[in-house]
Structure 1
Protein backbone atom coordinates (compact mmCIF):
# COMPACT_ATOMS: atom_id res chain seq x y z
CA UNK A 1 0.00 0.00 0.00
CA UNK A 2 2.78 2.44 0.85
CA UNK A 3 4.48 1.57 -2.40
CA UNK A 4 1.29 2.44 -4.36
CA UNK A 5 0.89 5.66 -2.40
CA UNK A 6 4.48 6.72 -3.17
CA UNK A 7 4.00 5.81 -6.83
CA UNK A 8 0.81 7.91 -7.04
CA UNK A 9 2.53 10.90 -5.44
CA UNK A 10 5.52 10.63 -7.79
CA UNK A 11 3.24 10.39 -10.84
CA UNK A 12 1.22 13.38 -9.61
CA UNK A 13 4.35 15.48 -9.14
CA UNK A 14 5.63 14.44 -12.56
CA UNK A 15 2.35 15.44 -14.26
CA UNK A 16 2.24 18.77 -12.40
CA UNK A 17 5.80 19.60 -13.44
CA UNK A 18 4.92 18.86 -17.08
CA UNK A 19 1.86 21.10 -16.93
CA UNK A 20 3.91 23.94 -15.46
CA UNK A 21 6.32 23.68 -18.40
CA UNK A 22 3.47 23.69 -20.90
CA UNK A 23 2.01 26.85 -19.40
CA UNK A 24 5.40 28.53 -19.40
CA UNK A 25 6.02 27.62 -23.05
CA UNK A 26 2.60 28.85 -24.16
CA UNK A 27 3.12 32.08 -22.20
CA UNK A 28 6.44 32.74 -23.95
CA UNK A 29 4.86 31.92 -27.32
CA UNK A 30 2.09 34.42 -26.58
CA UNK A 31 4.67 37.08 -25.71
CA UNK A 32 6.53 36.43 -28.99
CA UNK A 33 3.33 36.79 -31.00
CA UNK A 34 2.39 39.98 -29.14
CA UNK A 35 5.87 41.40 -29.78
CA UNK A 36 5.54 40.76 -33.53
CA UNK A 37 2.07 42.30 -33.62
CA UNK A 38 3.25 45.47 -31.85
CA UNK A 39 5.22 46.58 -34.91
CA UNK A 40 3.24 46.49 -38.16
CA UNK A 41 4.68 44.63 -41.13
CA UNK A 42 3.58 47.28 -43.61
CA UNK A 43 3.36 51.04 -43.13
CA UNK A 44 2.27 53.87 -45.42
CA UNK A 45 4.28 57.09 -45.39
CA UNK A 46 2.81 60.24 -46.97
CA UNK A 47 4.82 62.24 -49.46
CA UNK A 48 4.29 65.93 -50.14
CA UNK A 49 2.33 64.86 -53.22
CA UNK A 50 -1.31 64.58 -52.14
CA UNK A 51 -1.88 61.47 -54.31
CA UNK A 52 1.28 59.53 -53.45
CA UNK A 53 2.37 57.42 -50.47
CA UNK A 54 5.30 55.09 -49.94
CA UNK A 55 4.46 51.61 -48.68
CA UNK A 56 7.27 50.04 -46.64
CA UNK A 57 7.69 46.43 -45.60
CA UNK A 58 9.21 47.17 -42.18
CA UNK A 59 10.78 43.69 -41.98
CA UNK A 60 13.10 43.91 -44.98
CA UNK A 61 13.09 47.39 -46.57
CA UNK A 62 11.07 46.53 -49.68
CA UNK A 63 9.11 49.59 -50.88
CA UNK A 64 6.41 50.62 -53.31
CA UNK A 65 5.16 53.99 -54.49
CA UNK A 66 1.37 53.97 -54.01
CA UNK A 67 -0.86 56.28 -56.06
CA UNK A 68 -4.58 56.84 -55.60
CA UNK A 69 -7.12 58.97 -57.42
CA UNK A 70 -10.69 60.15 -57.13
CA UNK A 71 -11.24 60.60 -60.87
CA UNK A 72 -11.82 57.91 -63.49
CA UNK A 73 -8.97 59.05 -65.71
CA UNK A 74 -6.37 59.39 -62.93
CA UNK A 75 -3.59 56.87 -62.26
CA UNK A 76 -3.87 54.52 -59.33
CA UNK A 77 -1.62 51.62 -58.49
CA UNK A 78 1.78 50.70 -57.10
CA UNK A 79 5.23 51.23 -58.59
CA UNK A 80 8.22 49.32 -57.25
CA UNK A 81 10.85 51.37 -55.45
CA UNK A 82 12.83 48.46 -54.04
CA UNK A 83 11.94 44.85 -54.85
CA UNK A 84 15.01 43.39 -53.12
CA UNK A 85 15.20 42.64 -49.41
CA UNK A 86 17.94 44.62 -47.65
CA UNK A 87 18.47 41.82 -45.10
CA UNK A 88 18.55 38.03 -45.07
CA UNK A 89 15.19 36.31 -44.52
CA UNK A 90 16.44 35.03 -41.15
CA UNK A 91 17.14 38.63 -40.05
CA UNK A 92 13.66 40.00 -40.84
CA UNK A 93 11.87 41.57 -37.87
CA UNK A 94 8.68 43.63 -38.00
CA UNK A 95 9.50 47.29 -37.37
CA UNK A 96 13.15 46.93 -38.34
CA UNK A 97 13.00 49.64 -41.07
CA UNK A 98 11.48 53.11 -40.89
CA UNK A 99 11.26 56.00 -43.35
CA UNK A 100 12.02 59.64 -42.57
CA UNK A 101 11.00 62.48 -44.89
CA UNK A 102 13.51 65.09 -45.98
CA UNK A 103 12.91 68.66 -47.13
CA UNK A 104 13.26 67.40 -50.70
CA UNK A 105 9.80 66.33 -51.93
CA UNK A 106 11.08 63.23 -53.73
CA UNK A 107 13.58 61.95 -51.15
CA UNK A 108 13.30 60.01 -47.90
CA UNK A 109 15.86 58.40 -45.63
CA UNK A 110 15.40 54.73 -44.80
CA UNK A 111 16.90 53.62 -41.49
CA UNK A 112 17.67 50.04 -40.46
CA UNK A 113 16.99 50.42 -36.74
CA UNK A 114 18.92 47.25 -35.86
CA UNK A 115 22.28 47.90 -37.50
CA UNK A 116 22.10 51.65 -38.25
CA UNK A 117 22.51 51.38 -42.04
CA UNK A 118 20.95 54.32 -43.85
CA UNK A 119 19.61 54.51 -47.41
CA UNK A 120 18.51 57.35 -49.66
CA UNK A 121 15.11 56.62 -51.21
CA UNK A 122 13.96 58.63 -54.21
CA UNK A 123 10.44 58.20 -55.54
CA UNK A 124 9.28 59.50 -58.90
CA UNK A 125 6.75 58.72 -61.62
CA UNK A 126 9.62 58.19 -64.06
CA UNK A 127 11.19 54.74 -63.55
CA UNK A 128 14.75 55.97 -64.25
CA UNK A 129 14.44 58.53 -61.44
CA UNK A 130 13.38 56.02 -58.74
CA UNK A 131 16.11 54.41 -56.63
CA UNK A 132 17.28 53.21 -53.23
CA UNK A 133 20.97 53.78 -52.46
CA UNK A 134 23.01 53.02 -49.36
CA UNK A 135 24.54 56.11 -47.80
Structure 2
Protein backbone atom coordinates (compact mmCIF):
# COMPACT_ATOMS: atom_id res chain seq x y z
CA UNK A 1 0.00 0.00 0.00
CA UNK A 2 2.90 2.33 0.82
CA UNK A 3 4.44 1.59 -2.57
CA UNK A 4 1.22 2.55 -4.38
CA UNK A 5 0.99 5.83 -2.45
CA UNK A 6 4.66 6.54 -3.15
CA UNK A 7 4.22 5.81 -6.85
CA UNK A 8 1.05 7.94 -7.02
CA UNK A 9 2.74 10.77 -5.14
CA UNK A 10 5.84 10.57 -7.36
CA UNK A 11 3.68 10.55 -10.49
CA UNK A 12 1.81 13.67 -9.36
CA UNK A 13 5.01 15.54 -8.54
CA UNK A 14 6.63 14.64 -11.88
CA UNK A 15 3.48 15.65 -13.76
CA UNK A 16 3.34 19.00 -11.96
CA UNK A 17 7.04 19.71 -12.64
CA UNK A 18 6.69 18.77 -16.32
CA UNK A 19 3.57 20.92 -16.71
CA UNK A 20 5.23 23.92 -15.02
CA UNK A 21 8.31 23.57 -17.22
CA UNK A 22 6.15 23.40 -20.34
CA UNK A 23 4.17 26.52 -19.36
CA UNK A 24 7.34 28.49 -18.65
CA UNK A 25 8.89 27.43 -21.98
CA UNK A 26 5.68 28.35 -23.85
CA UNK A 27 5.66 31.76 -22.14
CA UNK A 28 9.28 32.42 -23.09
CA UNK A 29 8.56 31.45 -26.70
CA UNK A 30 5.51 33.71 -26.81
CA UNK A 31 7.42 36.69 -25.38
CA UNK A 32 10.27 36.15 -27.86
CA UNK A 33 7.81 36.04 -30.78
CA UNK A 34 6.12 39.26 -29.65
CA UNK A 35 9.51 40.98 -29.29
CA UNK A 36 10.40 39.95 -32.87
CA UNK A 37 7.12 41.38 -34.18
CA UNK A 38 7.64 44.68 -32.31
CA UNK A 39 11.21 44.99 -33.67
CA UNK A 40 9.99 44.28 -37.20
CA UNK A 41 7.22 46.90 -36.89
CA UNK A 42 9.70 49.48 -35.52
CA UNK A 43 12.05 48.85 -38.46
CA UNK A 44 9.19 49.23 -40.93
CA UNK A 45 8.08 52.49 -39.25
CA UNK A 46 11.62 53.83 -39.38
CA UNK A 47 11.75 53.17 -43.13
CA UNK A 48 8.29 54.60 -43.88
CA UNK A 49 8.89 57.97 -42.17
CA UNK A 50 11.87 59.91 -43.56
CA UNK A 51 14.49 61.43 -41.29
CA UNK A 52 14.87 64.49 -43.52
CA UNK A 53 12.14 66.46 -45.31
CA UNK A 54 12.49 69.42 -47.63
CA UNK A 55 9.93 72.25 -47.40
CA UNK A 56 9.57 74.84 -50.16
CA UNK A 57 9.43 78.55 -49.37
CA UNK A 58 7.89 81.30 -51.48
CA UNK A 59 11.43 82.08 -52.63
CA UNK A 60 12.20 80.07 -55.78
CA UNK A 61 15.83 79.56 -54.73
CA UNK A 62 15.36 78.64 -51.04
CA UNK A 63 13.93 75.63 -49.20
CA UNK A 64 14.07 74.45 -45.59
CA UNK A 65 15.56 71.07 -44.70
CA UNK A 66 14.17 69.56 -41.49
CA UNK A 67 15.54 66.67 -39.48
CA UNK A 68 12.19 65.17 -38.41
CA UNK A 69 13.84 63.23 -35.55
CA UNK A 70 15.27 66.14 -33.57
CA UNK A 71 14.10 69.50 -35.02
CA UNK A 72 17.37 70.65 -36.59
CA UNK A 73 16.73 72.97 -39.57
CA UNK A 74 18.83 74.30 -42.45
CA UNK A 75 18.09 76.85 -45.16
CA UNK A 76 19.04 75.33 -48.51
CA UNK A 77 19.84 77.55 -51.52
CA UNK A 78 20.40 76.55 -55.10
CA UNK A 79 21.10 78.54 -58.19
CA UNK A 80 21.23 78.23 -61.94
CA UNK A 81 23.90 80.94 -62.14
CA UNK A 82 27.57 80.34 -61.35
CA UNK A 83 27.79 83.73 -59.63
CA UNK A 84 24.95 83.17 -57.11
CA UNK A 85 25.18 81.59 -53.66
CA UNK A 86 24.48 77.88 -53.44
CA UNK A 87 24.66 75.94 -50.15
CA UNK A 88 23.11 75.46 -46.73
CA UNK A 89 22.75 77.87 -43.82
CA UNK A 90 21.97 76.63 -40.32
CA UNK A 91 18.81 77.91 -38.64
CA UNK A 92 18.79 75.46 -35.72
CA UNK A 93 21.94 73.38 -35.25
CA UNK A 94 20.99 71.81 -31.91
CA UNK A 95 18.59 68.97 -31.12
CA UNK A 96 15.31 69.94 -29.45
CA UNK A 97 15.02 66.53 -27.72
CA UNK A 98 17.31 64.08 -25.95
CA UNK A 99 18.90 61.42 -28.22
CA UNK A 100 16.77 58.65 -26.65
CA UNK A 101 13.59 60.62 -27.50
CA UNK A 102 14.38 61.04 -31.20
CA UNK A 103 11.78 59.41 -33.48
CA UNK A 104 11.43 59.72 -37.24
CA UNK A 105 8.56 62.09 -38.04
CA UNK A 106 8.48 63.68 -34.59
CA UNK A 107 8.83 67.24 -35.99
CA UNK A 108 7.00 68.90 -38.86
CA UNK A 109 7.07 72.39 -40.40
CA UNK A 110 3.98 74.42 -41.29
CA UNK A 111 4.11 77.57 -43.44
CA UNK A 112 2.53 80.84 -42.32
CA UNK A 113 1.27 83.79 -44.37
CA UNK A 114 4.65 85.46 -43.86
CA UNK A 115 7.04 83.89 -46.40
CA UNK A 116 9.97 84.03 -43.95
CA UNK A 117 8.19 82.33 -41.04
CA UNK A 118 7.22 78.72 -40.39
CA UNK A 119 5.83 76.99 -37.31
CA UNK A 120 7.75 73.93 -36.13
CA UNK A 121 5.57 71.43 -34.26
CA UNK A 122 6.76 68.65 -31.97
CA UNK A 123 4.02 66.16 -32.78
CA UNK A 124 4.61 64.15 -29.59
CA UNK A 125 4.57 66.76 -26.82
CA UNK A 126 2.92 69.64 -28.72
CA UNK A 127 5.75 72.18 -28.30
CA UNK A 128 5.70 74.85 -31.00
CA UNK A 129 8.52 77.04 -32.33
CA UNK A 130 8.67 80.08 -34.59
CA UNK A 131 11.21 79.45 -37.35
CA UNK A 132 12.44 82.40 -39.38
CA UNK A 133 14.63 81.88 -42.39
CA UNK A 134 16.47 84.74 -44.04
CA UNK A 135 19.58 85.40 -46.11
CA UNK A 136 20.96 87.66 -43.36
CA UNK A 137 22.48 85.67 -40.49
CA UNK A 138 21.14 87.99 -37.78
CA UNK A 139 17.57 87.53 -39.06
CA UNK A 140 17.61 83.68 -39.06
CA UNK A 141 16.42 82.04 -35.84
CA UNK A 142 14.19 79.59 -34.02
CA UNK A 143 12.25 80.57 -30.88
CA UNK A 144 9.90 78.58 -28.68
CA UNK A 145 6.28 79.74 -28.63
CA UNK A 146 4.75 79.44 -25.13
TM-score band w.r.t. shorter chain: 0.7 to 0.9
Select the residue among 119, 122, 125 that pairs with 2:129.
119
Aligned-pair Cα RMSD in Å: 1.9
Unaligned 5+ runs, structure 2: 1-17
**1:63-113 Cα shifts (integer Å, max 9, x gaps):** 000001111111110000000111111111110000000010100000000
Distance 2:100 2:72 in 1: 15
Match of 1:3 in 2: none
Aligned partner of residue 84 in structure 1, secondary structure = coil
Which of the two has higher C-alpha Rg?
2
Select the residue among 99, 124, 129 that pairs with 2:109.
99
Unaligned 5+ runs, structure 1: 1-9
Aligned partner of residue 132 in structure 1, secondary structure = strand
The two structures have a TM-score, normalised by structure 2, of 0.77
The two structures have a TM-score, normalised by structure 1, of 0.82
**How far does residue 19 in structure 1 lie from its aligned partner after superposition?**
6.8
Q: Going by fraction, where is helix more abundant, 1 or 2?
A: 2
Q: Which runs of 4+ in 1 moved over 2 A?
A: 16-28
**1:10-47 Cα shifts (integer Å, max 9, x gaps):** 9xx8xx95776655443322111001122110000000
